[in-house]
Every structure is written in C-alpha cells, then in structure tokens.
Chain A
Amino acid sequence: MKTKRNFAVLCLVLVMVVSLFAGCGKQQQPPASTQTPDTTQAPQKSAGGLKFPELPNNTLKLTVNIPNFGTSPTDTLVHKEWEKRMEEYLGVKLDITWNITPWADYRSNEKILLESADIPDVATYSQGAYVNQYGEDGIVLDILKYRDYMDYYPLFAKETFGGEAFAYNPDGTAYYFMDGFVNPENITGAQSFTSFAYRFDILKQHNLKPATTIDEFTKLCADIKALIDAGKIDAKYVMSNQDKNYAFYRGFVGIFHTWDTLYWNGQKWSFGPIEDNFRTMLKYLNQLYSAGYIDPEFSTDDGAMCTEKAVNSNHVIVPTLWSGMARVWNTQTTIEGMEWGLAFLPEHSDYGTPWKWGSRQEGRSLQTQMGIIISARTKYPEYVVRMIDYQYSDDMIEMMNWGIEGVTYTKTADGDHIFSDEILNAEDPVQKAADYGIMSSSACRTGIPFTPLTFEAMTEQIPGEPWWNPVDGYYEGKYWIESGRLGGPESVSPYDRPPVLRLSADESTRRAELQTNCDSYARQEALKFITGVLDINDDAVWEAYIKGVKSQVSDFDGTLSMLLEKSDLSSLSR
C-alpha cells in the first residue's frame, strides 16, 4: 500500500516537474547575432571595389521583423521575385526568417522591442527620430558607417526636401532608412482628411449641393436639419464621425489654417490646439453642436459603430474621414441608392484655401516617421545595408510597385505603365494587386517595408469614389488626384513642408513628449468646448485650458523655442 502511494506521489511530482520546466528551454536564439561586426577578422571578398566578408556556404542568414498590412507577402509572386533579384544583386543566397505581425500589434510593440535591445537583424520601423537614442546607445546600426555600400538611398536623401540635412543627423549619423516616395508627376494630393463626405443621393433628391464655403456649409446643415425634422430625410442627425479614435475636428483644422498637434505653421513651430485659429474653429463646432447638427455619440462610437450608422442612414455628412471610406460605405450599405461622395473642404473667407494633410513632394522624397532599422549586432552589416539600399533602386521600385511585366502590368511605347486587365477589372483591384504582392496596393507590402512608393502605381489601382466640385458637378474621381487638383498647390499645408530639424536624441524626446502628452490633454478638453461643457467664449476658461496644455510637459515654451532654434530655415527655400 505504502509503495503504491509513494509511486503515485513520484509520478505526480514528475509530471509537475516536467510541466514546470516545459517552458524553460534554451532561450530563443537572439535574432541578431550577438557578435559585434568584425569585418577585419573575417575572410573578405571584393565586388565592385567594395569589400564583403566571406559568408558560410555563401548564405546570408537573417531574421527580419515586418508587419502584415492585411495580406501576408511571403508567398506572393512579387516577394519571390524580390528574393531572386536580391540574391542576384548581392551575389549570395538569402536565408531569411520572416517574423510577420499584424500592423497594429507591430506598432504597439516597437518601443518595447527597442527598449529591450532585442531587435532582429532588420526590422520595419515607424517611430521616427525616437530611434536616435537607441542608435546612440549602440542598439541600432548607424547606416552611414556603411555609406560606401549604398548606391541608391543617397539619391533619395539628396533630392528630398531639406536634402541630406533632413535625412541624416547633424553629427553625421543615420539610424534608419527613411520611407521613400516617388512622385515624378508632382501629384500634391492629400492622404486623407481633405474632403467632407456627403450623402450625394440625399443632396440630389432635395436639390442641395455640397458646400464650397464655410457659410454655405452652415446653411446646408440648417437645411438638412430642417428636412430631417420635417421627416423628408430619413436620418437622425446632420453629421457624425468616422471613428472615435480620430478627433472630430481633424476635418476642420485645415479650413481654419491651424493643426491638431505640434506643427510648423509657416513661421515657427506651434502647438495648434492653443492657437487663436483653433479657438475660432472650436467656437464654430460648438455652434454646430448646440444647433443639434452633430450626433451626440460622435466621440464615443468606435469605427464599427460609426460604419453601422453611416450605412444605415443615421446622418448625411461626415467631415472627418480617411480616403476610401465613402467607397466602403457604398459597398457595405443595404439601402438601395445610398451614395456617399466627397467634396473638397469648404473655404473660410478669413483664411482662404483650406490646408490639406499628407501631400507629398515632387520627385524622390523621404518621410521621417516610417522606415527600416538594422541591429547594431547584425553579423554582416555590409550585406544588410546593401540589401536595404537596393530597395531604393529604380528596378526594384518598379518591380515592387507594378509587379512583373507581362503578368501584372504592361508598358506602353512611351514608357507608361498600365496594370493588367485582371487587376483593373477585378471587383476589388487593390486586393487583387495585393494578392500578387504589389506593395503600391498598401494592403500587401513585399520586401522589407517601408519601400519607396510610386504614386502612379498607387493611384492607378485605387478605385474611384463619387466626387463633386462646382465646375464639373458630380463625377467619379480618385482621392489623391482630386484633392491635388481641387486644392491646388496653395492648399499644401506648411505642416507638410517643415524646415529641417537638427535635434539630438534628448531634444527629439522632448519634442515627442510635448506632442504625445499635450495632444492627449488637448483632445479631451477640446471636446468639452465643442459640447459646451466648457465655455469657449469665456477668456478665463480658454486661458486655463492653455495653462493646462502647457502643464503637461516640464518646459512647453522652452521646447517650442528649442525647436525653432534647431530648425534649418535655409532648407525652406528649396
């Protein structure tokens, strides 16, 4: 009996011990080699005057972290072509372990990854100058140490607004490859938040038109409200939001020539939400809210709830929305005849042409927020730098944005690209392009994102949405093209053309802190002004609000002054 009991106890203990240590295996191999690059010791080979270390079995083994933008790239045609061309270019075999994470999760984990210093050989990156402190700490590779291995990226750095001073740090370092854009046709269209969405079917039915001025917009709201109250329009409210995650006023800031965050206002660095223009905008929005035009749930409905309302005729206007949403609502609705369409922002007589958000520069350019980082501990930085650099070459840009000639696109005699009928005539051309791994679809990004995007490829595959303007009336257009055409060059916001900033790691952190902390506070308080919880007309309340915004960081005014001091104003003349 006793032996039996002891045996049972022994078994139980064994089971528990085994389960206890089940998760305690050898720690996962750090993604990047723990050895510091030591090219002097390794056997080397030469190619084109450059010295490369000898690789075991001539194979470059790497771990790469990339996000998934909706469609996984690894099995796509373009991705396979990317690997093939890259191997040919580098003259080695690639053995890449791809760690692919959904984009939203990827972004939220980036800072932790950097902070833990456990980054893979290469990783997509989206936190801008924040990486500099980790570069200085020796976690991220200074790519300029391997400048000789780059043939194509320096071209982007040279041609972008602000030039090399923009792309590289003042101390001659650069800790990430910035996201590239190719815009030879100089399309100055906006990314989003540059048009209001209207229910075109309702406007047509009641002989109304989208507004071209803010006064017209106010009158239009009043007319729609009267029609709703009279039961002639099947809707509950005049307007609502697209998602609580986007401040409702984001669609209005450009009209009032201000911004919803820290920005370059043409003369200096300014925090938009404490500007007088911003206050004027809040007064206007408070009027709209008080008049009962705005759905009271505009700041609490999430994306799904807002979409449900939009497709079920809850409201007639959405002033703040991402490009493409009007088309989404039109395809998701079950109400026959429902037509959401877009019109450029209405103009305010005091401010002139509204500003748009996210318009790109002509030719090649770089953008600071997104990019690619390389671990300082990667074993063969020469190869890795050269590999990333090759993504900026014309050949690779063409391949990644258009796919394979004869399969996904054809070229005309004068060199223009045209996507295949299979893509253009697909029910969802963007998804079809993504299925091939064409990165200009943005739903699938092949290679190591972010790679340069060509506007022609992107605009060609994007399906049209209903648009309106006072000259052409109702028609179908594409967001980037229409927002560029209708706004004209004067609608390009100074926000999108700031001077080059030469900040140290600490200064970058101060800037980021001001932006993050003050944005969050301002958004909450601005909402109170809109809904009338705080009196926007009371100067004392406004002053207290400004004081509150400034108290979110230790030296608000000092940080703004520092930013101006560190701005290379000569870069504005480019």
Chain B
Amino acid sequence: MERLQNTSRKTLKDFIPQQVLKFSKLLWRQKSLVFLALPPVIMVFLFRYLPMYGILIAFKDYKPLRGVWGSPWETPLFENFIRFFNYVDFKRLIFNTVKVGIVSLFFTYPAPIIFALLLNELRFKKFKRVVQTISYLPHFISVVVIVGMLNNFGSLGGLFNQIRGIFGLEAVNMNSGDKYFLLMYVGSAVWQGVGWGAIIYLAALANVDPTLYDVANIDGANRWHKIWNINLPSILPTTTVILILNAGNILSQDYTKILLMQNDTNRSLIDVISTFVYRVGIAQGEFEYATAVNLFVSVINFFLVFITNKIVQRLNPENSLW
C-alpha cells in the first residue's frame, strides 16, 4: 500500500521527457558558455531572422503606407517572379551571373590557400610579416578607388597597356566592351582578397603539430612532400568549409564594383542579377519586384550550398557542414 502511494506521488520531473531533462542539465552545466553565446544568438535572430518577414513583399503588391501585412497579395501570387522569368534579358542575366560567379570562385577561392601555403614556407620571419602586411593592404581600399584605378590602368595610355607595350603588344581600350571585364574584375578581386583571405588558412597552418614535420624530416621528405602530405590535409577542413560557404555566393556578385565598371559599351554584356536588383529596387523603387528577384537568387544559393555540402559529405563526411 505504501509502495502504491509512493508511485502515485509524481513530481514535475516525471512529466518532462528524459531527453529534455538531460539537455537542460547539460545547458545548466555549461551555463557560462550558453550565457556567452546568448548575445550573438539574439543578434542573429533580431537582424537576420526577424527581418525575413519582409520577404513577404515579393508576393504582394506592396504599398508602403499599408505596410507589409496590409498590402494586398499579388494576383497571381508569383506575379513578380513570373515577370522576372519573362524579362527580355532574363537568360542573359542568368548566364552572366553564373559565368562571373564561377570564374570568380575558380580564381578567388584557391588563391589565398596557395598564398598561405607559400607564406608558411618562408623561414625569414620579418620578411614573412612584411609580405603578409602588404598583402592585406588592398583589402582596405574602397571599391570606388579600385575601379578608378582599373579605369585608368585599362585606358589606352594606362599601366596595363604600357606593360603590353613592353611585350610588343598593341594598346587596347580594356574598359570598352566585355573582353577584358572578367580579367579585370577577377584579377582585382584576387589582388584585393588574397592576403586577407589567407589569414584563416595561416591560422590553421599554425596549429599543425610540429612533430609531424620532424617525423617527415626523418623520413627524408622535401618541402613539397610536407606541403602535400601535412599542410594541405591539416587545412582541408577549413578549406572545405570556406568552399561550401563560397558556393552559396556564386549568384551574388560584388554589384557595386560591376556597376562602377559599367559603361555604354558593356552595360548589357556585364549586367548580372545583383546589378539588376539594384537598378530595379533602388533606382526605380520597385521593392517587391527586386525582393522577388533576390529571393529567387537566395533560393538557388541555398541549393548550391546544400549540393556542395552533400558532395563534401560523400567525399569526407567529417569535413561537411552538417
């Protein structure tokens, strides 16, 4: 009877599933870490998730005075998306965007890795520091200045043509048309980002266990062997994460740079989705249309991240994001 009474007296704990209880205990044990993580979580929620309700205007005939909720729904609901798909230059926009994105990724992604590996091989520390500092500097130059420099360098009497002249090549107007656009756009991006991008890889390289090099030396490995068999595998998880994140930006180019590089000879040839969104959303004030186009891009970017992660998962599950 007494035993029966004991079993019928249930506390609150008995109603909470064991897993939740376990998780709560874990959180409590690590309360310092949880407390530390709270501000960034709140920040991400406030500034990244909360504004997402604004995406709704992609499906609405947005009237600012009525607000996001008060504006009427588009009929049909996907009107703004359909309008974009029917846009006369839709195919060209997509093609340009994918082209610029893939070429940029192809060159800007490996450049910092190679640069970090090279820097890591420098033995003279002072020289290494000087090179590293100089390589950071372009990162801090404004895009307006960069494009101004490109315009000047690419003109008939500019630096690039003077270099061409040394090799006996004829001067060409590199600012005209789209022939040299990718070269200048990607080239300047590599120049600007190589030093800054290498920081994360240098940090990863700094964590490589030095005994691995000792062992390699005993085995008679040369520098190339050490790079290939020790350094690269050590930074592989980092490079993989960066690749997955970069894959999510293939359709999102540096629109300010492209806008500034545009002129009448190349405007339509180098127009990409982000410049189109700027023109429609900012210059023409068609917020709902611009939101729809950007939402379309975001969805594709998400799938790109997802697919890249899947591929990485297949190749090496430890290096994937999730």
- Verify A296–B283 contact, CB threshold 8 A: no
**Chain A positions 500-538 with a Cβ under 8 Å from a chain B Cβ:** 516, 520-521, 523-524, 527
Closest Cβ–Cβ distance, residue B263 to chain A (whole Å)? 5
Contacts A20-B42, A297-B156; A520 near B267 (Cβ below 8 A): yes
Known: A117-B65, A299-B176, A301-B155. A108 touches B282 (CB 8 A): yes
Question: Is B39's beta carbon under 8 Å from chain A?
Answer: yes
When the two chains form their complex, are residues A523 and B264 in contact, meaning their CB atoms are under 8 A apart? yes
Q: Which residues of B contact A6 (CB under 8 A)?
A: 32
Chain A nearest CB from B27 CB (Å) reads: 15
B35–A516 CB distance below 8 A: no
Q: Report chain B residues within 8 Å CB of A299.
A: 176, 263-265
Number of interface residues of B (CB under 8 A): 30
The answer to whether A16 and B39 touch across the interface, beta carbons within 8 angstroms, is: yes
The residue on A at minimum CB distance from B269 is: A524
Q: Which residues of B contact A16 (CB under 8 A)?
A: 39-40
B16 CB, min distance to chain A CBs, angstroms: 27
Convert B98-124 into 0s and 1s, putting 1 for each residue whose CB lies closer than 8 angstroms to a CB of A. 000000000000000000000000000
- Bound CA–CA A137/B63 (angstroms): 8
Knowing A138-B65, A297-B175, A305-B152, the reply to whether A115 touches B264 (Cβ < 8 A) is no
Convert B259-276 into 0s and 1s, putting 1 for each residue whose CB lies closer than 8 angstroms to a CB of A: 000011101100000000
Contacts of B156 in A (CB 8 A): 296-297
Residues on A with C-beta less than 8 A from B268 are 521, 524
Q: Which residues of A contact B173 (CB under 8 A)?
A: 296-297, 300
Question: Residues of A contacting B63 with CB < 8 Å?
Answer: 137
Chain A residues near B267 (CB-CB < 8 A): 520, 524
Q: Determine whether the beta carbon of A244 is less than 8 Å from that of B264.
A: yes
Q: Are B35 and A524 in contact (CB under 8 A)?
A: no
Q: What are the residues of chain B within 8 A of A524 when measuring CB–CB? A: 264-265, 267-268
For residue A137, which residues in chain B have a CB less than 8 angstroms away from its CB? 63-65
Q: Which one of A10, A13, A117 lies within 8 Å of B39 (CB-CB)?
A: A13
Q: Which residues of A contact B282 (CB under 8 A)?
A: 108, 111-112
Q: Which residues of A contact B152 (CB under 8 A)?
A: 305
Say how far B239's CB is from chain A's closest CB, in angstroms: 30
A523 to B268, CA, bound (A): 11
> CB of A5 within 8 A of chain B?
yes
A9 close to chain B: CB less than 8 A? yes
Bound-state Cα–Cα, A24 to B35, Å: 21
The reply to whether A305 and B151 contact each other, CB–CB distance below 8 Å, is yes
Minimum CB distance partner of A527 in chain B: B264
Q: Nearest-CB distance from A270 to chain B (Å)? A: 22
Query: Does B52 interact with chain A (Cβ within 8 Å)?
Result: no
User: In the complex, which residues 250-293 of chain B have their Cβ closer than 8 Å to any Cβ of chain A?
Assistant: 263-265, 267-268, 282-285, 287
Shortest C-beta distance, B207 to chain A (Å), equals: 24
B149 interfacial contact with A, CB 8 Å = no
Return chain A residues, CB-CB under 8 Å to B265. Answer: 299-300, 524, 527
Bound: A116/B66 CA distance, A: 10
Is A83 an interface residue, CB under 8 A from the partner? no
Interface of A (DSSP majority class):
helix
Taken together as a complex, chains A and B put the C-alpha atoms of A41 and B311 apart, in Å, by: 69
8 Å CB contacts to B: which residues of A289-310? Answer: 296-297, 299-302, 305
* Chain A 95-141 residues near chain B, CB threshold 8 A: 108, 111-112, 114-117, 137-139
Q: Is A426 an interface residue (CB 8 A)?
A: no
Nearest B residue to A314 via CB reads: B157
Distance, CA A302 to CA B35, complexed state (A): 54
Contact assessment for A296 and B35 in the assembled complex, using a CB-CB cutoff below 8 Å? no
Q: Does B36 contact A (CB under 8 A)?
A: yes
Residue A247 CB within 8 A of the other chain: yes
Whether a CB of chain B sits under 8 angstroms from the CB of A335 is: no
Q: Are A247 and B38 in contact (CB under 8 A)?
A: no
Which of B40, B43, B155, B263 is the most central at the interface, judged by chain A CB atoms within 10 Å of its CB?
B263
Cα of A516 to Cα of B286 in the assembled complex, Å:
14
Q: Bound state CA distance, A111 and B286, in angstroms?
A: 9
Are B36 and A115 neighbours in the complex by a CB distance under 8 Å? no
Q: In the complex, what residues of B have CB within 8 A of residue A521's CB?
A: 268
Return the chain A residue nearest B156 by Cβ: A297
- Specify which of B39, B264, B284 is in contact with A17 (CB 8 Å cutoff): B39
- Name the B residues within 8 Å of A5 (CB-CB): 32
A139 B64 Cβ-Cβ under 8 A: yes
Which A residues are CB-close (under 8 A) to B32?
5-6, 9
Query: Would you give the 0/1 interface string for A456-473, flagging 1 where the beta carbon is closer than 8 Å to chain B?
Result: 000000000000000000
B264, A552: Cβ atoms under 8 Å? no
Q: Does A12 sit at the interface, judged by CB under 8 A?
A: yes
List residues of chain B with CB under 8 Å of any chain A CB: 32, 35-36, 38-40, 42-43, 46, 63-65, 88, 151-152, 155-156, 173, 175-176, 263-265, 267-268, 282-285, 287
Question: What are 11 inter-chain pairs, A to B, with CB distance below 8 A?
Answer: A12-B36, A17-B42, A20-B46, A115-B64, A139-B65, A244-B264, A296-B173, A297-B155, A299-B263, A516-B284, A524-B267
Q: What are the nearest 5 A-B pairs in CB distance?
A: A111-B285, A117-B64, A16-B39, A300-B175, A115-B285
